[in-house]
Amino acid sequence: MIYDRFDRLSVYYDSVPYLKEICEELQTKDFTKLPVGTYYTEKSGIKYMVQSYETVADKKPEVHRKYADLQFVIDGKEKFGFASIRPLPESFSENDDFGLYDDELESTAVLNSGDAVIVFPYEPHTPGLSSDGPCVMKKIVAKIPM
Find the CATH number of the domain harbouring 16: 2.60.120.370
**Full residue range of the structural domain in which residue 34 is found:** 2-145
pLDDT band at 31 (very low <50, low <70, confident <90, very high): confident
| Residue 26 DSSP SS3 | helix
The string of pLDDT tens digits covering residues 117-126 is: 999 999 999 9
What CA–CA distance (Å, rounded) separates 6 from 117?
8
Q: Which residues of 6-31 are buried (b: 16+ CB within 10 A; e: fewer)?
A: beebeebeeebebbebbbebbeeeeb
Q: Is the pLDDT of residue 20 over 90?
A: yes
**pLDDT score of 115 more than 90:** yes
Mean pLDDT of 47-63: 96
Query: Is 5 buried (19+), middle (13-18) or exposed (0-12) by CB count in 10 A?
Result: exposed
109, pLDDT greater than 90: yes
Average pLDDT on 69-85 reads 96
- Look at the chain and report how many structural domains it folds into: 1
Closest by CA position to 114, among listed 42, 26, 12, 39: 26
Look at residue 30 and tell me whether its pLDDT is greater than 90.
no
Q: What is the mean pLDDT of residues 97-112?
A: 92
In 16-65, alpha helices (H): 19-28
